Structure 1
Amino acid sequence: MVIGATGQIGRVAVGALARDGWEVTAVSRGGGRDADWPDGVRVARADREDGAALAAVVGDGCEVLVDMVAFSAAHARQLTSLAGRVGSAVVISSVAVYEDGAGRTFDTQDEPDGFPHYPVPVTEQQRTIRPGDTSYSTRKAALERELLAAGDRLPTTLLRAGAVHGPHCRTPRELYFVKRNLDGRRRRVLAFGGRSRFHPASVHTLAELIRLAAARPGSRVLNAVDPEAPTVAEIAAEIDAVMGVETDTVLVDGPPPAPGVGDTPWSVPADVVCDMSAAERELGYRPVVRYAQTLPETVAWIEGRLAGRDWREAYPKMFHAYGDLFDYAAEDAWLGA
């Protein structure tokens, strides 16, 4: 059973599980079906926030429950309440739970010197933020703690996803370069020398990890990222190649030189790069895709969403998270100066 089946990760995971021989029930609020799913996939409608509805669709039980949309301790308790009817679970978490040696996390990144400086690469032994209900990061940490504590009753694999990418994403970082190219911007500014790395995680990578974890129940946390973490300059060049354009890049050492200039969704002052050794050891994971391979489908999806629409209408969650990513007047003024 897959909860959140019509979301970005769920669409691919349902297909991967069905093709692997599982009898899959795809649960979503709308009860929809993806065109790429095998015919044998069943669909069911339930709201993730309604515990009774969730219990009803589980019914007499399932061997594996995969949850794409668990975000809190309350969601964890929903799952553990089904322990007698569910053999094991696979739940999406986030690298946002990590804390560095000075207590810095993604929650402190807007403070002076607040961005975390993690070891490169980060392993699952890195300490995590204190669980709570004040932020996305603290809620994910609380989710993890509750599920790991119930590992004897409901073995759960928690996948700490990086920067998820692929079609159907509501906050695609690739939008930054795709829209600029569509707008004819042939010069760009990249802060931190274009060397920033924020480890991406393809929906195909996550689907493969889900597929493997479903067949190997256990109580564990695993990083869930692509085999490489390209720099922001490399990402920009790869998107240019997919779109068939050439762009001049102005590299700036240090932070963005002015508001709205050189600050991409990947531009961070310290690398966020994760180690995948544990997934290889625990699940037998081997890479199935690399970042550049997946870009054509991502770019095509973004172009389709933008066609004839203001980007803030097409991607309201992106605008809420990052503000105005396309202040071309500020960029032109800085370049002109």
Structure 2
Amino acid sequence: MVIGATGQIGRPVVGALVRDGWEVTAASRGGGRDGAWPDEVRAVRLDREDDTALAAVAGDGCDLVVDIVAHGARHARQLTSLAGRVGSAVVISSVSVYEDDKGRGFDTQAEPGGFPEYPVPIPETQRTVAPGESTYSTKKVALEQELLAAGDRLPTTVLRAGAVYGPHCRMPRELYFVKRNLDGRGRRVLAYGGGSRFHPVSVHTLAELIRLAAARPGSRVLNACDDEAPTVAEIAAAIDAVMGVETETVLADGPPPAPSVGDTPWSVAAPVVCDMSAARRELGDRPVARYAETLPETVEWIERRLAGRDWREAYPEMFGAYGDLFDYAAEDAWLGTK
């Protein structure tokens, strides 16, 4: 059973599991299905918050539950209540659970001096924020701890995902450069000298990790990122190459030189790069997706969604999270001083 099957991660996960011989029930709020799934995939409607409905979909039992949308202790307890009827689980968490040795994490990054300075790369043994119900990160830690504590009853692989990319994303970071290219912007500004690194993960990488974990049940937590962590300048150049454009890049040392100028969704004051050696060691993971090679499907998806629409209508969650990513007047004013 795949919970959250019609999201950007769930779609390729269902396909990967089917190809590996699993009989898959694809559960989602809408009960829909992806056109690429074979007919034998069983699509069902499921309200993730309904304990009775979740138990009903699990039925008399299933060998594997993949939960892509779980967060918080309550969702963990939903899953552990199925112990005895479920063979094992794979659950998606996030690299946002980590904090540095000064207690800084993703929840403090907006504070002055609050951006964390992690080791490079970050191992799974790096400390995490305290569990709680106040933020996305604290809920993910609560989820992890509940599941790992019940590992003897329900073996669960927790995958800490990086910056997810691929089609069907509601908040695609690539939008930042795709729209600029579509709008004919010949120059762009990159803060931190274009050297920011925020480890991405393709939906295909996640599907492969889930496929491997499904075949090797265990109680563990693993980073889940691509094999490479390109800089934001490299990401921008890769998107240009896909779209067949050339853009002049103006590098600004340090943080964004003015509000909304050079502040991409990848722009971070210190690198966020994860160690993938444990996944290779425990699951036999190998690279299946490289950023530049998998970009065309992401760019195409964004272009189709933007066609004839205001970007804020096409991606309301993106606007809510980042504000106006395309303040060209502010960029031009700053560039005019160069």
TM-score, normalized by the shorter chain, greater than 0.5? yes
**Conserved 8 A contact 1:19-1:38:** no
**Conserved 8 A contact 1:199-1:274:** yes
User: What is the CA deviation profile of residues 81-137 of structure 1, one whole-angstrom value per residue up to 9, with x for unaligned ones?
Assistant: 111210100000000000101100000001111000000000101010000011000
Residue of structure 1 equivalent to 2:302: 302
> May I ask how many residue pairs the two structures share in their alignment?
337
Residue of structure 2 equivalent to 1:324: 324
How far the C-alpha of 1:39 sits from its partner, in A, is 2.1
Aligned pairs for 1:117-266 (under 5 A) are 117-266=117-266
Residue of structure 2 equivalent to 1:40: 40
Task: Give the distance between the partners of 1:51 and 1:324, measured in 2 at CA.
Answer: 39
Aligned pairs for 1:272-287 (under 5 A) are 272-287=272-287
SS of corresponding position for 2:115: coil
Residue of structure 2 equivalent to 1:7: 7
User: Match for 1:304: what amino acid?
Assistant: R
Task: Give the distance between the partners of 1:260 and 1:147, measured in 2 at CA.
Answer: 40
State which drifts further: 156-165 or 33-42. 33-42
Task: Give the distance between the partners of 2:281 and 2:38, measured in 1 at CA.
Answer: 30
User: What is the CA deviation profile of residues 155-175 of structure 1, one whole-angstrom value per residue up to 9, with x for unaligned ones?
Assistant: 000000000000000110000
Q: Which runs of 4+ in 1 moved over 3 A?
A: none
How far the C-alpha of 1:204 sits from its partner, in A, is 0.1
SS of corresponding position for 1:43: strand
User: Match for 1:259: what amino acid?
Assistant: P
User: Match for 2:105: what amino acid?
Assistant: T
How far the C-alpha of 1:304 sits from its partner, in A, is 0.4
User: Match for 2:334: what amino acid?
Assistant: W
Residue of structure 2 equivalent to 1:315: 315
TM-score, structure 2 normalization: 0.99
Task: Give the distance between the partners of 1:327 and 1:136, measured in 2 at CA.
Answer: 28
Residue of structure 1 equivalent to 2:24: 24
SS of corresponding position for 1:318: helix
How far the C-alpha of 1:288 sits from its partner, in A, is 0.6
User: What is the CA deviation profile of residues 63-97 of structure 1, one whole-angstrom value per residue up to 9, with x for unaligned ones?
Assistant: 00000000111100000011121010000000000
Task: Give the distance between the partners of 2:44 and 2:110, measured in 1 at CA.
Answer: 41
User: Match for 1:32: what amino acid?
Assistant: G
Residue of structure 2 equivalent to 1:108: 108
User: What is the CA deviation profile of residues 215-235 of structure 1, one whole-angstrom value per residue up to 9, with x for unaligned ones?
Assistant: 100000000000100000000
User: Match for 2:262: what amino acid?
Assistant: G
Task: Give the distance between the partners of 2:39 and 2:15, measured in 1 at CA.
Answer: 10
Task: Give the distance between the partners of 2:71 and 2:329, measured in 1 at CA.
Answer: 38
Task: Give the distance between the partners of 2:214 and 2:53, measured in 1 at CA.
Answer: 23
**Conserved 8 A contact 1:28-1:47:** yes
SS of corresponding position for 2:9: helix
Task: Give the distance between the partners of 2:121 and 2:267, measured in 1 at CA.
Answer: 18
Q: Which runs of 5+ in 2 are unaligned?
A: none
How far the C-alpha of 1:33 sits from its partner, in A, is 1.1
Aligned pairs for 1:69-88 (under 5 A) are 69-88=69-88
Task: Give the distance between the partners of 2:212 and 2:131, measured in 1 at CA.
Answer: 28
Task: Give the distance between the partners of 1:240 and 1:121, measured in 2 at CA.
Answer: 28
The CA RMSD over aligned residues, in Å, is: 0.5
Task: Give the distance between the partners of 2:8 and 2:61, measured in 1 at CA.
Answer: 25
Task: Give the distance between the partners of 1:9 and 1:41, measured in 2 at CA.
Answer: 16
SS of corresponding position for 1:8: coil
**Conserved 8 A contact 1:87-1:154:** yes
Task: Give the distance between the partners of 2:49 and 2:300, measured in 1 at CA.
Answer: 32
Q: Identity of aligned pairs, percent?
A: 82
TM-score, structure 1 normalization: 0.99
User: What is the CA deviation profile of residues 297-331 of structure 1, one whole-angstrom value per residue up to 9, with x for unaligned ones?
Assistant: 00000000000000000000000110000000000
